[in-house]
Copies of this chain bind each other. A is one copy, B any other.
């Protein structure tokens, strides 16, 4: 299949596929008249990459997982990559939750105490 078909099947944009090839995440496929030709294995590999990216793994994490998947070792290392990633996600989640609380309370306070007042006095602009 050609690149457009692979793109559609995996929900990836065509330039992104070429980009992944360029950075060595996907193998360089066979060519026919200069055009890239992919097979079912490429679909599987790219689908995996996309799923990882949706899970917010970095490109380098994906690269690690791909190489672990390739080799004949046990999956404990892959589990460790996932667990570490999970820890990162949880850190971000906590930060974002704190952020949400802080902004929400600013908005609430503005509504309660200064809505309609002069902008420069608004709680949203408090620097403290």
Residues of chain A having any CB pair with chain B under 8 Å: 44, 47-48, 51, 55-56, 65, 68-69, 71-79, 82-83, 85-86, 89-90, 92-93, 96-97, 99-100, 102-104, 106-107, 110-111, 114-122, 124-125, 127
A71 and B121 CA atoms in complex are apart in Å by 11
Could you tell me if A79 and B107 are in contact, using CB atoms closer than 8 angstroms? Answer: yes
Q: Which residue of B lies closest to A77 (CB)?
A: B119
Q: Which residues of B contact A96 (CB under 8 A)?
A: 89, 92-93, 96
Query: If the complex has contacts A72-B119, A89-B96, A122-B75, are A51 and B127 also in contact, measured as CB distance less than 8 A?
Result: yes
Q: Which residues of B contact A106 (CB under 8 A)?
A: 82
A51 and B103 CA atoms in complex are apart in Å by 11
A88 and B106 CA atoms in complex are apart in Å by 15
Could you tell me if A83 and B69 are in contact, using CB atoms closer than 8 angstroms? Answer: no
Which has the most chain B C-beta neighbours within 10 Å: A71, A83, A99, A116?
Answer: A99
Q: Which residues of B contact A82 (CB under 8 A)?
A: 103, 106-107, 110, 124
Neighbour of A78 across the interface among B73, B74, B104, B125, CB < 8 A: B125
Q: Which residue of B lies closest to A95 (CB)?
A: B56
